[in-house]
Amino acid sequence: MTARIVVGTRNSRLALWQADFVAHRIRERHPHLEIMLKHIVTTGDRLKDVPLAQMGIKGVFTRELEEALLSGEIDLAVHSIKDLPNELPPELALGAIMERADAREALVSPRYRTLEKLPKGARVGVSSLRRKAQLLSLRRDLVITDLRGNIDARITRMDSQNLDAIVLAVAGLQRLGLEEHITAIFPMDSFLPAAGQGAMTIETRRDDKALRNTLSFLHHRETAWAVTAERHFMRVVEEDGQMAAGAWARIEKKALVLDAAILSGDGHTRLQDSISGIPQEAGRLAQTLAHRMLAADDRDVLAAASVASLRKAVHE
């Protein structure tokens, strides 16, 4: 391994915070290394006005970073794990999964203190089908609108788009020092996050064992077990079609506990279940839970409602 490491990152404020955080940790541990940041624009960054549900592209925030890794342009890429596709290119690997921050979702509203206090027909901006479905499962009267862009832009656009509230990840707000905008935090039992939400990972070339050894001090075993469970769950669900789903795993009393929900896009049908077991069997546990949920009696209704909701979103 050379004495210089080139870190690839998107150029949003949150992505730069994350890349700087990783670079700082590496410099602290290995002061002899020169760390350079390289900004890379991804498909998701270029197509800011296209709803994610319409793109039909996996890895819209990571593909160009992975291409730069494969070409040798960069040595590692820093990601929010929730942005990564569940399947990585075979030549790439996760060199470290870092300790997770708060995985919950936050309601941000300038006028209303809780979801329950939003007026009937309130307009709420979200960036994913998962958030839309869970909001509608709690309040069917809400008018959900797509809201893309970085965190600062979404907060600013609440006024310009006449929105009553938006939903953002707690971790992102905390990392950018924007906690004062948090109006309320959704409980996990009714509003599950995206797989890997709140956790960062470092992607490297699989054959770069020296670099992966250098990064090993950043790896957090319990977070890795939890994220493995969540990503395996989503891998099975996504193979079954376009559905809104959330998952949250954690270690409790030395056991891995995974809670998951699968919803129709309109939020009218919701399946929720959990499983627990040995952390080292995270992937198998997640697959068992996913297959069990997809075999439920409501599966056909769920799939049909999801397809109808997706078609509606594409034409809005």
141 is catalytic: no
Q: Which of 55, 42, 35 is nearest to 12 (CA)?
A: 42
Spatial separation of the C-alpha atoms in residues 234 and 282, rounded to whole Å: 13
Spatial separation of the C-alpha atoms in residues 226 and 259, rounded to whole Å: 11
Cβ(212)–Cβ(86) below 8 Å: no
- CB atoms < 10 A from the CB of 74, how many? 24
Amino acid identity of residue 258, one-letter, is L
Tell me the backbone φ, ψ of residue 281, rounded to 5 degrees: -105, 30
How many Å from the N-terminal Cα to the C-terminal Cα in the chain? 50
Q: At what angle do helices 282-294 and 221-239 cross, to 10 degrees?
A: 30
267 CA to centre of own chain: 19
Q: Looking at 20, 45, 49, 83, which residue is catalytic?
A: 83
Question: Two tokens at 293?
Answer: 């949920």
Sort residue 246 into left (φ over 0), alpha (ψ -120 to 50) or beta. Answer: beta
Residues belonging to the active site: 83
